[in-house]
A and B are shown apart, each in its own frame.
Chain A
Amino acid sequence: MFKKRPPPEEERRVRANDREYNEKFQYASNCIMTSKYNVITFLPVNLFEQFQEVANTYFLFLLILQLIPQISSLSWFTTIVPLVLVLSITAVKDATDDYFRHKSDNQVNNRQSQVVIHGSLQKEKWMNVRVGDVIKLENNQFVAADLLLLSSSEPHSLCYIETAELDGETNMKVRQSLSVTAELGDPNNLASFNGEVVCEPPNNKLDRFCGLLYWRETKYPLSNQNMLLRGCVLRNTEYCYGLVIFAGPDTKLMQNSGRTKFKRTSIDRLMNTLVLWIFCFLVCMGVILAVGNAVWEVEVGSRFHSFLAWDLPVDNFLFSAFLSFWSYVIILNTVVPISLYVSVEVIRLGHSYFINWDRQMYCPQCNTAAEARTTTLNEELGQVEYIFSDKTGTLTQNIMSFNKCSISGRAYGEVIDPMAGQPKRLDFSSFNPLADPDFCFYDNSLLESVKLGDPHSHEFFRLLSLCHTVMSEEKKEGELVYKAQSPDEGALVTAARNFGFMFRSRTPGTVTVTELGRPVTYTLLAILDFNNIRKRMSVIVRNPEGRIRLYCKGADTLLFERLHPCNHHLMNVTTDHLNEYAGDGLRTLVLAYRDLSEEQWEEWAENHRQADMSTDCRDDRLAATYEHIEQDMMLLGATAIEDKLQEGVPETIAILSLANIKIWVLTGDKQETAVNIGYSCKMLTDDMTEVFIISGYTVQRVREELRRARERMMDIRGGAEDTGGGRDLPSGGEKQQQCPPPPAPPSSTTLDSISGEFALVINGHSLAHALEADMEGEFVWTACACRAVICCRVTPLQKAQVVELIKKHKKAVTLAIGDGANDVSMIKTAHIGVGISGQEGIQAVLASDYSFSQFRFLQRLLLVHGRWSYLRMCRFLCYFFYKNFAFTMVHFWFGFFCGFSAQTVYDQYFITLYNIVYTSLPVLAMGIFDQDVPEQRSLEYPKLYEPGQLNLLFNKREFFICIAQGIYTSVVLFCVPYAIFSQATQGTGEPLADYQTFAVTTATALVIVVSVQIALDTGYWTVINHFFVWGSLCIFFSIMVAMHSQTLFSIFPQQFHFIGSAQCTLVQPLVWLTITLATVICILPVLAFRFLKLDLKPQLSDTVRYTQLVRQKKRKPAGRCMGGVRGGAVGVAEGRLGARGGSRRSGYAFAHQEGFGELITSGKNMRLSSLALANFASRHSSSWIDTLRKKKHSTTHPPQSASGESSPAPSYVSGSAPPLSNSSSLLGGSQDTPPEDGTRTPPVTLPQMAPGPHINTAPASVQVLSAGILTPTSVRSAGGDSSSGWTLSLGAVQEALIGWRGVAARISGTSSPGLPPNPRKQTTQCEMERQTDGT
């Protein structure tokens, strides 16, 4: 029982208020230490950690080699200087990090808490709190340790906590103490409390706790419901007392803060591979030179002994060769420079800062700037192929707004007159002083009808004000705050409030409503709560007059079945309205009521009571009674709630998909909601050929559905091919034959050739089967052939599995974006995790690599920052490897002329400083600041993103090209001076070919060549670039002159024996002629090659850059481009209205949780201290409603919806051939017709933006497209409401995508290379088109 604590604690015993007893177990104190070092341990521990890095160890090994005099071909400082530099930079960074950890630890440890000691409260620092102490917490305080709740100020000893720091959920949770301890009350009683808790050892399970409380000879079971965990914040509770169970490092919070897995980018991995290859290359060269040395020693050296005797230990040529090998390993090690890793880190850090600093990724509403939380992944942002997005809070704001309604056959909410411009928001304040000022509604007719006393409208809003489980708080007269369980409900009750039916308060048995200024209290007879199967909720109320009425709201499908037959006509009208709403992506609910006679009610109440009492199948029996009474209802109308998309979501999705990024939505929401959102953010469109829905419950079913989807795709594609490109493709039939793909997924070419006009919606329960090993291949294949994939009802784990699946099968870079705790697993799994720092707490952000507050910033993160980062990193790496090969390989060639003796070509100081001083800054500046095209262009031309996805800018091929160029340069740098110097003399007759002159000349030539090369590589010359490039050259010359000066020589003659070389060499005209010649021979071929490549095979970025240049020149005289853009935007905005056809998609969107009704009727949650509430409400005044939405996520509903019975693959738009054949023939046309044709008929036949025939070059088409793509951005910039201004143009953009492929194909082909012949003319034309579009 009293065993010493062995490392794995088996159970924990804590006796309250008995420190002596508890100390026996040596439980951890409440002092936390997240820091790694202290002043004394810093150096050894940090060094130890750093030398665990392979690179550092490698350089340490080199350093040791250099200390052996027989091997040392270079002084020890050539390695130690960079190594020390690198180590100290890292050490400083680590030290800073740790300092801040110390600081935050101190801050946390010194927080005050109140401990009950001897019956009185004493202030103690957190770190002095011990296990077994009873502490008092006050409202809004952080919980200091994991506590067992003993008592609280609230009735029933309830206690409200917010767990945002723990699990990211911001909704409040309720904790309740055991009833025995609840009575303890004041500190005196608590001080005498001596219960003993026996519980599980510390663990990281946040939602589980089991233990027993022994007190007064009785056992009481404890559960998580009794625990307050460290990190939570006490809310709405004046105070509470708790017994410390786990402290400090044992708390669940600390147990959970494991180190996150370190993510590496693909460039990192490639770099490591390459470094390994280079290392092998180094060894090979070492071997070659060692063999050379052996041969030389035999052939020449042995006879040369009278002049050149062997060093002492060397007695034969083999040993000499062995030493020579190591000597060469030392001098050639600069091919893998130590500064590579540091520079890469510095560049990434710079890029991260640029992300943090970006004002366009700053959200003024929430005062949050984007944050790169990981600094090592930036360039991977430029390679993303798959985005996995959460829906709620990520795509949507999770703010519901009452948008439209249909009241007894009349639709309200649609503002029909488009000419009136921005419709005016209704002002409710005059009508209703208690109206919620944030409520937006535009249709005045509804308000009028309420004012006129239309009974239907009144009943409609009465229902909304009665039938809900919202709680209201009114601290001051007129300051109402609703706390709704789901944002939908909040929106509905708020709407009723604004229209004069204000829900004021409730008790377990009554509901008080102010109806048009007149308070009415209804008796609440029953709440027929919502659940997943019922998809509706009802209340039964008795009004003051005594009439009993049942009010019901719910999903149309279910409610329509339960209506009284006389509603038939109204039902049809309402159905039309519902279709309309669904078409607009709104979430709909149908409202109905039923009058009940007293007898009916009595009878039902009796039944209900019996059902409620029954012990077996209580739920079923209750459901049956509910079912019984919800019949023969009268239809009142329908509501449509807009699940507001975040700003700019459809634009972002469109642009990202134009950038060939596939977006998958993974959501815990229901299928209907998810599909609705899919439509409203334009992932799904009515133009889509087919939307496949996979919702089977069994393996066979899912397999079957997947197979059918695939067959459909094949069929349609086959058909399209026949109509579109059949005449050119006689082999189409063959392709079709290979269509039915057995489990082995077809080749990726087949897959890519399917135009992505399909969408896949898959349910969580089907996904579980699809993710099984034997089906995942099929699933991936099918899903990837679709343009949009929506996975609904997925669990957090499944989210991660899907991401993992794509990572495994597609070898593509994945990005996961989400905002809630349920996205954490996915964020951690994906290559890049992005957290939306929205309203759902910080868990996702904490787990993420990047965080910002709006989904739309993603386009900037990827297309601007990611693209640039990738570009810069690639250019940096190319150049870096180049410069080091150019630098180092000279030694190799020189080896043949110095008897393979590992004689370096350069001065040792030059070798030391070359990488860290002479050439580091220009390439760093390029790596940090370079831009190929301006940021606006990368958003206008999303195709610019593609090189990153295809990994074109730095891969093994590019690497070999760099290496080849580097080796070429080294050859030139050696051979030119060699050829010239072998006979040359100075003007004074002294021969030039002495070693020091040669060294200085080669070094100078090298520095100049690499500087010119960086100048060529730099595309964006800022002041900093100029400063660094010219500065590096100056530094080189000044350091060289200084090193070769008399002063240094007189102090260290042995080290600085190059005295006078620089001064003497650099005044020789011949030396400069040599340097010039070498530079020109090195650079001109590169220049010519680049020029020809630009002409013959221009990249899109080159073209854009070129047109940009031309446009800049063009813009100077006339600034009309802006006007054109704006015109286009207006056109799009106008076109929006009436553009949507709207296929029937009814969305039951009652995001709700069962059981709240019970809580209301039991009255448990009825009281909140007014003080606490005031506090709470003021903190959450604006976003309180949204915070509750978390409920929806935290409950994963069992797969029991009725949709399983629907046909296996119902296609919403089945058989809509026209759009498909249209688009595929477009595609076929652009691929199959000869280029000349293609240029005459641009593949983009977008009526609203491309009056194209007179556009006749590829880049011109690009521009036309850009006009289309530009519009959304300009809509926003013009200040319009973006989400509405987008509607129509999206279809166009998506078609533009197809057009793009054609364009891209032609751009990459050799048929019409080159830039536009007369770019000025082209741009003008383009601008004019935009203007015509606009007007």
Chain B
Amino acid sequence: MPKEQDLANRPDNTAFTQQRLPAWQPILSAGIVIPGFVLIGLAFIGIGVALFLTSRSIQVQEFDYTGVDTTSSCYMCSSTNVPNCVCYVNFTLTTKFQGMVYFYYALSNYFQSHRKFGASRDYYQLSGDTTYFTAPLDVCIPFQYANTTPIVPCGLSANSLFNDTFKLYQIVNGTTKLVPFDGRGIAWWSDYNIKYQNPKVTPLKDAFKGTAKPVNWPKPAYELDTTDPSNNGFVNQDFLVWMRRAALPNFWKLYRRITDPDYVGGLPAGNYSIEITYNYPVISFNGKKRVVLSNVSWMGGRNPFLGIAYLVVGSLCIVMSIVMLIVYAKFKFPDDV
């Protein structure tokens, strides 16, 4: 035997260096794969059924008020450019609208997902940093300065704030009764409490001194909600909802919830009318505007696709497992005889 020092270059005998680490070596054996497919299939079918049924139970009312159609009451508003043009959408609920009702507006063919919508905003401004009130970031171009006055809030996203307003009336025996909307808490908690902050200046108006309102806005930011002083500036709920941009060109945005004690169990069956203050032009780009009433379940709003997708995938798993079983049986078992 050679002496110890003669083996100086001998590699270490460890499991790692000798590539003998203990290892789990899974193999796609029939005993795992086929039952696995069956289990996944069954689970998916189960979830799918649950989702599908839940989704079926959700009620949705949806009304287009773009006014393209000449018969629509909003046709007038869409064809002319009158500010604060008012039109109505009437509808009848044949059954009670269960639970808390959510009121949405929906836009289609509207590209909030465009890169510039995301980029063209100044989060320093929006988080209440007043130094950026006087010098907004370049990303806000072309809505950085109105002539030479800095725009607050600057940028495309803010500028295009959706400004139609809605009121819902219940028609009870020919008389209209306002269904009160609740505008609180419709934005993300983190948006409202962290991301968007008004400058710590009271009154708020002072902070906006020397700045211009966005070009399209009729009113400056600090006057967005005349009824509720705390709902102004960057923490205005409608503004927050708008600024959380949609991922897809067709989107809903939450407008209000109905939390009024009178309607706490839902909207009773009957006739309703939505009063729309029509401001937002969408006809030019073939956009569509809708209002949507919906209630939600644990899984959110109505979503038939999810349930069906689960059912389909689940069934395919089962089919696949049968196919695999046949293949396995055909090519494995005869040899054993």
Question: Which residues from chain A sit less than 8 Å from chain B, CB to CB?
Answer: 69, 73, 300-301, 303-304, 306-312, 327, 353-354, 356-360, 362, 364-365, 367-369, 868, 894, 897-899, 901-903, 929, 931, 935, 976, 978-999, 1019-1025, 1046, 1049-1050, 1053-1054, 1057, 1059-1061, 1063-1064, 1068-1070, 1073-1074, 1077, 1080-1081, 1084, 1087-1088, 1090-1092, 1094-1096, 1105-1106, 1109, 1257, 1312-1318
Contacts and interface: CB of A to CB of B under 8 A. Distances in A.
A364 B194 contact: no
B2 A365 contact: yes
A993 B248 contact: yes
A1094 B257 CA distance: 56
28 contacts: A307-B160, A308-B116, A311-B141, A358-B11, A359-B10, A360-B18, A362-B10, A894-B113, A898-B114, A935-B19, A981-B248, A982-B248, A989-B300, A991-B251, A994-B246, A1019-B25, A1023-B21, A1073-B299, A1074-B306, A1080-B313, A1080-B317, A1084-B40, A1087-B36, A1088-B320, A1088-B323, A1091-B28, A1105-B25, A1317-B335
B194 A367 contact: no
Contacts of B334: 1317
B284 interface: yes
B111 to A, nearest CB: 5
Nearest to B1: A364
B333 A1073 contact: no
Contacts of B188: 990, 1060, 1064
B26 A987 contact: no
A901 B116 contact: yes
B331 A1095 contact: yes
Contact of B113 (A903, A986, A1063, A1109): A903
Contact of B156 (A307, A362, A1091): A307
Contacts of B251: 982, 991, 993-994
Nearest to A300: B285
Nearest to A370: B11
Given A902-B115, A981-B247, A1318-B336, A989 B301 contact: yes
A1297 B70 CA distance: 86
Contact of B327 (A369, A1095, A1315): A1095
A1020 B25 CA distance: 5
B186 interface: yes
The 3 closest A-B pairs by CB, nearest first: A1060-B190, A1317-B335, A998-B247
A974 B139 CA distance: 28
Contacts of A367: 2, 6-10
Contacts of B252: 983, 985, 991, 993
Given A1084-B317, A1105-B25, A1314 B298 contact: no
Nearest to B303: A984
A977 to B, nearest CB: 8
B270 interface: no
B320 A1022 contact: no
Interface string B295-337: 0111111110110011001001100100110011001111110
Interface in B250-280: 250-254, 257
A1054 B123 contact: yes
Contacts of B79: none
Contacts of A311: 116, 141-142
B44 interface: yes
A1317 B113 contact: no
A1057 B22 CA distance: 45
Contact of B331 (A73, A306, A978, A1314): A1314
A309 B142 contact: yes
Interface centre among A358, A980, A981, A985 (most CB of B within 10 A): A985
B127 interface: yes
A1022 B22 CA distance: 6
B306 to A, nearest CB: 5
B303 A980 contact: yes
A1053 B126 CA distance: 9
B306 A1080 contact: no
A105 B267 CA distance: 89
Contacts of B122: 1054
A836 to B, nearest CB: 16
A1091 B33 contact: yes
B237 to A, nearest CB: 11
A1008 to B, nearest CB: 15
B105 to A, nearest CB: 11
Nearest to A896: B249
Nearest to A1321: B336
B10 A985 contact: no
The residue in A998, A1059, A1095 that gathers the most chain B C-beta atoms within 10 A of its C-beta is A1095
B191 interface: yes
A1241 B262 CA distance: 89
Most buried by A among B102, B127, B188: B188
Given A357-B12, A995-B118, A1060-B190, A303 B306 contact: no
Interface residues of B, number: 110
B26 A903 contact: no
A1053 B124 contact: yes
Given A981-B248, A996-B244, 10 more contacts: A73-B115, A308-B156, A365-B2, A989-B102, A1024-B21, A1059-B195, A1060-B194, A1087-B28, A1314-B335, A1317-B336
Interface of B: 2, 6-13, 17-19, 21-30, 33, 36-37, 40, 44, 47, 51, 100, 102, 104, 109-118, 122-124, 126-127, 129, 137-139, 141-143, 156, 159-160, 185-191, 194-195, 216, 244-254, 257, 281, 284-286, 294, 296-303, 305-306, 309-310, 313, 316-317, 320, 323-324, 327-328, 331-336
Contacts of B44: 1080
Nearest to A1088: B320
Query: Which among A301, A929, A1073 has the highest number of chain B CB atoms within 10 Å?
Result: A1073
A1093 B199 CA distance: 64
B244 to A, nearest CB: 5
A1096 B36 CA distance: 19
A1106 B25 CA distance: 10
Contacts of B10: 359, 362, 364, 367, 369
Given A362-B11, A984-B306, A1054-B123, A1106 B113 contact: no
Contact of B111 (A308, A987, A992): A308
A1077 B189 contact: no
A868 B324 CA distance: 30
Nearest to B123: A1053
Contacts of A901: 111, 113-116
Given A898-B111, A899-B113, A987 B331 contact: no
B46 to A, nearest CB: 12
Residue among A976, A1054, A1068 with max Cβ neighbours from chain B (10 Å):
A1054
B147 to A, nearest CB: 15
Given A983-B301, A985-B296, A1020-B25, A303 B111 contact: no
A983 B303 contact: yes
Contacts of B127: 1049-1050, 1053
A1096 B21 contact: no
Nearest to A1318: B336
B154 to A, nearest CB: 12
B113 A995 contact: yes
A812 B113 CA distance: 53
Contacts of A1087: 28, 33, 36-37
Contacts of A304: 111, 284-285
Nearest to B58: A985
Contact of A1021 (B23, B33, B195, B294): B23
A994 B8 CA distance: 64
Contacts of B11: 356-359, 362, 369
B111 A899 contact: yes
Given A983-B302, A1088-B324, A1022 B6 contact: no
A1095 B332 CA distance: 8
A985 B22 contact: no
Contacts of A898: 111, 113-115, 249
